[in-house]
Amino acid sequence: MTGPQRLRLAAQPWLGLGGLLLTAAVFFVLALGTGSAATGLLILGPISTFGLAGVAMIAFWWNDWPGSRLSAPWSGVVDTLLAAAIAVVLTIAGQAVIERPDVRAVFEAIPGPAAPATFPATMALAGATFTAMLQLSLVCERWPLSRFGRFWSGIAALVLSWVIGAGAYFLFVNISYLPVAERVAAGLHDPGGPVTRADFGAALIAVGVWQAVLYLAVRGWPVNTITRRSRRLLAGNTLVIGLGAGTYAVMRDAAGLSPGSIGAVCGCVIGAVLVVAMLFEGWPASLLRPAAGRALTLALTAVVALVLYRALAAYADGVRWIRAAPEDWITSASLSFAGAAIILHVGVGLRWPFAGLRRDAMVQGHPDDLHPALRAELGEDAGDIGLNGTS
Q: Between 384 and 242, name the one with better pLDDT.
A: 242
21, burial (CB in 10 Å: exposed 0-12, middle 13-18, buried 19+): exposed
Distance CA 278, CA 296 (A): 15
- What is the pLDDT, as a whole number, of residue 217? 97
Query: Band of the pLDDT at 185, cuts 50, 70, 90?
Result: confident
Torsions phi, psi of 195, nearest 5?
A: -130, 155
Q: Between 101 and 327, name the one with better pLDDT.
A: 327
> Residue 266: which of 323, 209, 187 has the closest Cα?
209
Question: Collapsing DSSP states into helix, strand and coil, what is residue 174?
Answer: strand
- What is the pLDDT, as a whole number, of residue 176? 92
146, burial (CB in 10 Å: exposed 0-12, middle 13-18, buried 19+): middle
Q: Any idea which of 10-14, 58-62, 289-293, 335-339 has the lowest mean pLDDT?
A: 10-14
- What is the pLDDT, as a whole number, of residue 7? 63
The Cβ-side half-sphere exposure at 82, using a 13 Å CA radius, reads: 22
For 34-69, write each residue's pLDDT tens digit.
999 999 999 999 999 999 999 999 999 999 899 888
Distance CA 246, CA 233 (A): 20
- What is the pLDDT, as a whole number, of residue 74? 87
- What is the pLDDT, as a whole number, of residue 389? 43
- What is the pLDDT, as a whole number, of residue 127? 97
- What is the pLDDT, as a whole number, of residue 375? 44
